[in-house]
A and B are shown apart, each in its own frame.
Chain A
Amino acid sequence: MNEVKPGFQEELKAFESRKAELLDVAEGRFAVFKGSEFLGVFDTPAAAYDAGVVKYGNVSFLLKQVRKEERIEHAPAIFWGIPHACP
């Protein structure tokens, strides 16, 4: 698996500090943070990304869905080996 690139500590801290408030008003929507700066919440991840890129440019920023619990993703093929596939 690839190495996790550094970053998001400050953004995640800012997200956690606002999480309760965001859950009250924007659960299920998508929040954008850059450093400790909160850009806003958006209805779709695409809208959130577009807003972040327009504001910050092609740099790393955090786009995170406002939800009570983190969702764990699954892709067993990645961990157990991609099936042979040739086009």
Chain B
Amino acid sequence: MPVHNVHPLGNPNISPPDLLFQLGLLLQVEISIPQSLASVLTAASQPMPPVVVGSALVDTGATCCCVEEARLQQLNLQPIGQVPMSGAAGPRIQNSYQARLTFPGAPIPPLEIQVVWVQMHQGQTLCLIGRDVLRYCVLIYNGPQGSYTIAF
């Protein structure tokens, strides 16, 4: 099982444990259209949407992967379902899409999964990695060292 040790980089004036505390478990992520859709577009001589690059936050509180809608509309994906999500005022329906997620530098292989599109409103987080992906991973949070390990 490939192992990926992550030591967050950022402000050198902050200790690694504090940096990890502030940033959380971040991975670089690239989100693109599924390969089958790419093949269909290629066969139809249609342009390929650009890959969307950003940060993914590993969120053990999330059951599913969520992606920021505003930055992903350029992928021109079409919804493939509607998912009830719990919220402060009870469950509400969100659209779901099939997308391809790759994690440069991490051992997680490219994933083609259903993601829920949401508005995150703030920050630079593009995507939440939920327990639907973590179910295949070993995840170790090393607070004293300021690092985390993910193995897939």
Residues of A near B91 (CB, < 8 A) are 72
Q: Which residue of A lies closest to B80 (CB)?
A: A63
Residues of A near B22 (CB, < 8 A) are 84
Residues of A near B15 (CB, < 8 A) are none
Contact B61–A77 (Cβ < 8 Å): yes
Stretch from A17-25, A35-43, A51-59 at the B interface: A51-59
Interface size on B, residues (CB 8 A): 56
Q: Give CA–CA (A50, B54) in the complex, Å.
A: 26
Residues of A near B119 (CB, < 8 A) are 1-2
Encode contact with A along B96-109: 1 for CB under 8 Å, 0 otherwise.
Answer: 00100000000000
Q: Which of B44, B81, B82, B123 is close to A85, meaning CB atoms less than 8 Å apart?
A: B123
Residues of B near A75 (CB, < 8 A) are 59, 61-64, 66, 85, 116, 118, 128, 130
Contact A84–B123 (Cβ < 8 Å): yes
Contact B84–A83 (Cβ < 8 Å): no
Contact B121–A81 (Cβ < 8 Å): yes
B30 at the interface (CB under 8 A from A): no
Q: Is chain B's interface secondary structure helix, strand, loop, or mixed overall?
A: mixed
A2 to chain B, nearest CB (A): 5
Q: Give CA–CA (A46, B80) in the complex, Å.
A: 12
Contact B85–A74 (Cβ < 8 Å): yes
Residues of B near A61 (CB, < 8 A) are 78, 80
Contact B85–A73 (Cβ < 8 Å): yes
Stretch from B35-43, B133-141, B143-151 at the A interface: B35-43
Contact A86–B10 (Cβ < 8 Å): yes
B48 to chain A, nearest CB (A): 12
Q: Give CA–CA (A54, B36) in the complex, Å.
A: 7
Contact A74–B86 (Cβ < 8 Å): yes
Residues of B near A59 (CB, < 8 A) are 78
Contact A8–B118 (Cβ < 8 Å): no
Q: Give CA–CA (A57, B80) in the complex, Å.
A: 12
Write the residues of chain A forming the contact surface with B, with a CB cutoff of 8 angstroms: 1-2, 4-5, 7-8, 45-46, 49-50, 52-54, 57-64, 70-87
